[in-house]
Amino acid sequence: MNPREVTLSNQQIWLERCLPTYWRVTFDHPPLNIFGPDAIPQLNEVVSALESDPQVRVVVFDSAVEGFFLTHYDFFAPLEASTSLPPGKTGLQALPDILARLSRAPVASIAMIRGRATGVGSELALASDMRFASREKALLSQWELGAGLVPGGGPLARLPRLIGRGRALEVLLGADDINGDLAERYGYVNRALPDAELGGFVDALARRIASFDKQGIADIKRLVNLASLPADADIAPEWDAFLASVQRPASQNRIKKLLERGFHQPGDVENRLGYHIGHLGG
């Protein structure tokens, strides 16, 4: 296996070409893998490479941070750092654009989830073609309503198509942690595997797909996408709703309470976010 190739300036995201046909993208922003506007250009660079490289056929997303696949948006970043980003190639705002393009890229994408896939982490997993979770260590969450927020990266359009309306509303309105076994039962992930088997399973599947014809992979994805992906128009309102919700006094108050309890810091609030947002009070 080739050494990791660092392609992005501040090393929050690493790109490893395991083979010319098989890439691995690793989130590495300790201690919590919080995703902020500074990471958006980096993720955009990765997706642009997946769209244009003539050889790559499969990509696996994983994490180098113990306990955290990829977590929520950075609430310490100035709001203008997000609102000033230009729309992407689809016309959607920057983050929804990147995720929509990942879903449509002529490459099979796999999210390998160990630890928390919270907010943006869940949204990236949903935008990937396949999701495999650690039975013991994975926790998925669209936690935003617990802080008075509306999710902005596409889960309102993607989750109902994936797991059905009732279960999607349970995830989105309950805003609680979903473990690997329940995520598998609901169809939120393809499979939950014992943690010791997860890496080997995903690597074997990725290498198998990487051995197949690139044009065939692209054609199958294109036709499956026609039957399953939301239109950009269905995703577009979510980011605007997220930005509006961040600025509401009620949301600001709930976020302040979370910060006072240890949100954005290593510790119990981030480890048990679903529990804590359920105990903020009205």
In-domain check, residue 282: no
pLDDT at 282 (0 to 100): 62
Total domains in the fold of the chain:
1
pLDDT at 11 (0 to 100): 80
Q: Give the domain range for residue 182.
A: 13-277
pTM of the model: 0.95
In-domain check, residue 96: yes
Which entry of 16, 80, 136, 144 is annotated as an active-site residue? 144
123 is catalytic: yes
**Residue 65 — pLDDT band, cuts 50, 70, 90?**
very high
In-domain check, residue 150: yes
Span 72-76, average pLDDT: 95
User: With b meaning 16 or more CB within 10 Å and e meaning fewer, what string describes 83-117?
Assistant: eebeebebebbbbbbbbbbbbebbbbbbbbbbbbb
In-domain check, residue 1: no
Q: How far is CA 195 from CA 26, 100, 189, 270, in A?
A: 18, 29, 15, 21
DSSP string, 106-156: SSEEEEEE-SEEETHHHHHHHHSSEEEEETTT-EEE--GGGGT----SSHH
Confirm if 168 and 140 have CB atoms less than 8 A apart: no
Which entry of 5, 16, 51, 123 is annotated as an active-site residue? 123
β pairing state of 58-63 and 22-27: parallel
- State the CATH number of the domain containing residue 82: 3.90.226.10
In-domain check, residue 259: yes
Evaluate if residue 77 carries a pLDDT over 60: yes
238 is catalytic: no
Evaluate if residue 7 carries a pLDDT over 60: no
In-domain check, residue 5: no
Q: The tokens of 86 are what?
A: 């230009």
Which own/partner contact pairs does 86-94 have at CB distance under 8 Å and 24+ positions apart? 88/44, 90/232, 91/232, 91/236, 92/232, 92/235, 92/236, 92/239, 93/236, 93/239, 93/240, 94/37, 94/40, 94/44
The rounded mean pLDDT for the chain is 95
